[in-house]
Amino acid sequence: MHERRDGLLEEGAGPDLYLAPFGDWPPAEQAAAGSARGRVLDLGCGAGRLALHLQHTGLDVVGADASPLAAAVARRRGLRQARVATWQELSAEIGSFDTVALFGNNAGIFGTPARLQAVLARWARRMGPDATVLAESTSPYAGTAPLLDAAHRRANRAAGRMPGQLRLRYRYGGHVSPWFDWLFLSPAELRRLLRGTGWGVETLLDDGPTQPFVAVLRRRPASGSG
């Protein structure tokens, strides 16, 4: 269950998504997975859906999640390298990875536009020249992004925030997460935020305007606009 800071509750995705085999993934995710190469970090890996698929293809994959329960499930399902870690904790070693996967709307994991830009710029300086980021999000205007309605988008604009910004937490049984920030982006908003970070959109994969999209990001000179 997702809970927005103002108290709105919404049922989140379940096992049909988090445990789905590769053949049941949206075509955009299937295509994006084929862009992973080298040593891979699946950041916010959840139950290990992507990490396990890439491990089965022979890649060296580390799955990381801030939730000890999620990492334990991924490990139990067969992921050899499942770690409990946040994106902040992994920043120092980001240069050892060739691909970072931000599946499951995890392009928004940094929470704010400023943090997204700062973190990606730092990654661009530390990762190799052929590095790849697979960034998935749902447009805040699609009508399918969790907890985002027209009234919340208007309130964000009035407060000087991007329309897709959220403060939320998860509830599951007796477990309640701390509050955290999230950011849903449209493709155009993502391209704009990438300017000056050292990354650009090489390929945009989507299955229609109401569905999540995956942007395949590649290193490029900081002046590139994406």
Query: DSSP character for 59?
Result: -
- For residue 137, being part of any structural domain is answered with yes
For residue range 115-152, list pLDDT tens digits in order: 999 999 999 999 999 999 999 999 999 999 999 999 99
pLDDT, residue 173, reads 83
Report which of 37, 74, 71, 66 is spatially closest to residue 54, judged by C-alpha positions. Answer: 37
* Residue 152: strand, helix, or coil: helix
* Domain total in the chain: 1
- For residue 6, being part of any structural domain is answered with yes
CATH code where residue 51 lies: 3.40.50.150
- For residue 133, being part of any structural domain is answered with yes
Task: Give the predicted TM-score (pTM) of the model.
Answer: 0.93
- For residue 226, being part of any structural domain is answered with no
Instruction: pLDDT band for 168, please (50, 70, 90 cuts).
Output: very high
- For residue 214, being part of any structural domain is answered with yes
Task: Tell me the average pLDDT of the chain.
Answer: 94
- For residue 12, being part of any structural domain is answered with yes
pLDDT, residue 189, reads 98
Whose structure tokens read 């139990």? 76
- For residue 76, being part of any structural domain is answered with yes
Are 54 and 33 a contacting pair, CB within 8 Å?
Answer: yes
- For residue 225, being part of any structural domain is answered with no
**Beta strand 82-84 with 60-65: parallel, antiparallel or unpaired?**
parallel
Q: Quote the percentage of the chain above a pLDDT of 70.
A: 97
For residue range 177-222, list pLDDT tens digits in order: 899 999 999 999 999 999 999 999 999 999 999 999 999 999 985 4
Domain extent at residue 119: 2-219
